[in-house]
A and B are shown apart, each in its own frame.
Chain A
């Protein structure tokens, strides 16, 4: 079995020797220019004009503005869901850092100076800077199942709470960037190579803007990518278009790579959200009805907001059983940079709310947070908020059991309480606590998404009995290359070494759909499996008695046998259709499940939190490569912890960012990170390769609520607070926890 084995990652050797070529490692091309972006300093305003400083020497500088797009016949549009975002602003600017002009010069320093010599004439208009002020609705959804109002009216206990979450920056360590060139000729060809997750998104955006009809007229190639986490899902289309425009106008290759500051300022972030939750239950803790009201901040343009909001909506009732559900959600526009894809994609926001709310209910009922979760956790056969019957691969209970067992929860909680008492008695100011969260994450695209996507992969036989996997699914660190090779080798009954992975390049791979939504292994992997098996069995069927696989394969290749290649399109499993109007039906093919247990230490003077240990169990169906899989779980969980206690974007009153540097946008270091105790639970999903389902996003969902729950446990002997939870809002920065603690009653 190759599936289930932790084979070392294929790209490991290149990465540990420094040979892996990231975008900025591409050797300079002859005549290459350095591109920079001129951005709006104003959150909202009328763009009256653009002036080039007459004192500056523009002779060797290429400048592109929206007017040039008109002159070049380029459609000023970044193609995505809604057609509302221009490539370069014209007439009006809608957020600070909005691109208004582009500049390129062979001399990098001069390009930077040229940027400063472009003057934007903008008359400011009133700006909306937070979702509380937002009135323009970008998208809304409604789920209404059974009779929530009647059920809440009849419930023995009804608890309400409001929970807020903040922006989060992806902070991949490799900033965004591309190198582009434009080849004139009878049929012009634009070529973009860069750090990106979804080559075909960029491809589509290029085709649309430049009115390219032929698929081959745009070529998009992924370079080794230094992290993405969603941040390189949609934004590379913008950078790709910018670099391509400069390349077209100058006739030279253009390198456009963001510095860290520009990357933090201009690119997308996690959507902030406010959720109001009302939950009705019996006095014995049995949940009956839930009502959730969600508002997200979409930012200045729609980009991926409808899809993020959709996922947030579908995860808003958490991993629990209710007979009555209502979720009403909307995203509003603000004059801040568009928020976009970030691991979890709307789910961490609503899961934060529902998990915190379950803790509030536990408190109100005097129940342990574990028992209340165990009592209400979705089981096989239960219905979700969309009326989906959970008939397959439902591992929530297993995860709860595995994580609490690994943590030895009850004993550890008692030990920590005893430790706290001893600390208090000795006059010391550290307190420890244990917290929990349980959660699930829909794997793959929502509803009818996969039907529309029609993701494809191709597997080719090559000389020597080898197979090559051609797919647009990118490896951005998660190990796609390695895992696809494992899946293909297993399906073809070949050695791991006999399979290779084509670099995602639109001129060489079919459109497998984007590398998002925890769909790569489960969805694309399943067609890799089919295609590899088809090619291999064809070769074996045609082999003469005694002829080896390699010899037979070479013979078929020489004869031009068409079935030595196999293109497979994904066909979603038969399921109850999802109705986009009512938001009822099978929202996802299946769900992945998890439970986090966090042990924290809080300083009663500084209110700083450290997460000491993190016990987590993730039901991934099947871990194709356990080392890589656990790496996803731990990395994602640490991002969630960072979001909870370290990370915060500081917005100035003018809509700009005050801490766009790694010095002051703080992500966890090795010293901040907890010791991880990771358990992989495998409740197989029959349609995934080897039983696998999605894992990419799930780990981002539960870290923050588990930590909050643990902080409250740590403080519970010293503080008493009223109804609800002490910490309803993120981030849990020391000053925020202090503020909440200050309002509580000190009991020790």
Chain B
């Protein structure tokens, strides 16, 4: 089957009924997308499917055929994207296990809302559980990234 991931078309040997999460992490070797619960509750497997955030543990690989998939590995082009840099600088990642999913959820938000306020940010990442940070620094990092993306001072 064919999957388009991070702008590259891949030919993979996998059952269309396999979980997309397993296909990404297994044959495609993209282990950046994490599994925290396997039932759509933690958000650590969040990816973009045609621009929309979904839990890769709930999507079948077959459902992703023909769609554009974005994982954490696709965020940086050469150097870190502003969102990633802000997570590092502002304390948005501690243990880091929620970070890939969190970044993807934030990316989805910033694509549709260039200057979200705190409440909008919190709403957008409400499906992504972080047990380490208390969320404040994640919210701050996303807000900061919005400013940088808009061409403002870092």
List the interface of chain A (C-beta within 8 A of B). Answer: 6, 8-9, 11-22, 24-25, 170-175, 224-229, 259-260, 476-479, 627-628, 630-631, 634-639, 661-663, 667, 669-671, 673, 675-676, 678
Contact = CB atoms under 8 A, between A and B. Distances in A.
Given A174-B34, A260-B37, A661-B37, A16 B133 contact: no
B135 A227 contact: no
Contacts, number: 171
A621 B90 CA distance: 22
11 contacts: A16-B76, A18-B100, A24-B25, A173-B98, A227-B95, A260-B37, A631-B134, A639-B131, A662-B129, A670-B125, A670-B130
Contacts of A8: 88-89
B134 A673 contact: yes
Contacts of B33: 18
Interface string B119-131: 0011101111111
A537 B97 CA distance: 39
A662 B41 contact: yes
Contacts of A627: 89-91, 137
B93 A18 contact: no
Contacts of B127: 669
Contacts of B90: 627
A173 B122 contact: no
A17 B131 contact: no
B97 A22 contact: yes
A669 B139 CA distance: 12
Nearest to B123: A671
Interface stretch (B9-17, B58-66, B67-75): B67-75
B73 A631 contact: no
A476 B84 CA distance: 20
B24 to A, nearest CB: 10
Nearest to A676: B136
Contacts of B34: 22, 24, 173-174, 226
A670 B139 contact: yes
B135 A670 contact: yes
B103 interface: yes
Contact of A173 (B42, B75, B84, B121): B42
Contacts of B71: 18
B31 A675 contact: no
**Main SS at interface, chain B:** loop
B58 to A, nearest CB: 12
Contacts of B30: 18
Given A18-B73, A661-B39, A173 B93 contact: no
Q: Which of A15, A229, A639, A676 is most buried by chain B, counting CB atoms within 10 A of its CB? A: A15
A207 to B, nearest CB: 28
B36 A174 contact: yes
A282 to B, nearest CB: 39
A627 B89 CA distance: 9
Nearest to A14: B96
Nearest to A678: B136
Contact of B131 (A9, A19, A667, A676): A667
A173 B94 contact: no
A302 B103 CA distance: 41
Q: Which of B38, B122, B135 is most buried by chain A, counting CB atoms within 10 A of its CB? A: B135
Contact of B84 (A16, A174, A637, A667): A16
Contact of B129 (A18, A631, A667): A667
B133 A25 contact: no
Minimum-distance CB pairs A-B, first 3: A18-B32, A477-B95, A226-B97
Contact of B93 (A16, A22, A667, A670): A16
B132 interface: yes
Contact of B134 (A224, A635, A671): A635
Interface in B98-150: 98-100, 103, 118, 121-123, 125-139
Given A634-B133, A675-B136, A172 B39 contact: no
Contacts of B129: 173, 662, 667, 669
B80 interface: yes
Contact of B91 (A24, A174, A225, A628): A628
Given A18-B32, A670-B138, 19 more contacts: A15-B96, A16-B72, A16-B96, A21-B31, A173-B42, A173-B131, A175-B36, A225-B95, A226-B34, A477-B95, A477-B132, A628-B91, A631-B134, A634-B134, A662-B36, A670-B123, A671-B126, A675-B118, A676-B134
Contacts of B122: 670-671, 673
B80 A13 contact: yes
Contacts of A631: 91, 94, 132-134, 137
Nearest to B121: A670
Contacts of B72: 16-18
A32 to B, nearest CB: 13
A162 to B, nearest CB: 31
Given A227-B97, A670-B126, A173 B88 contact: no
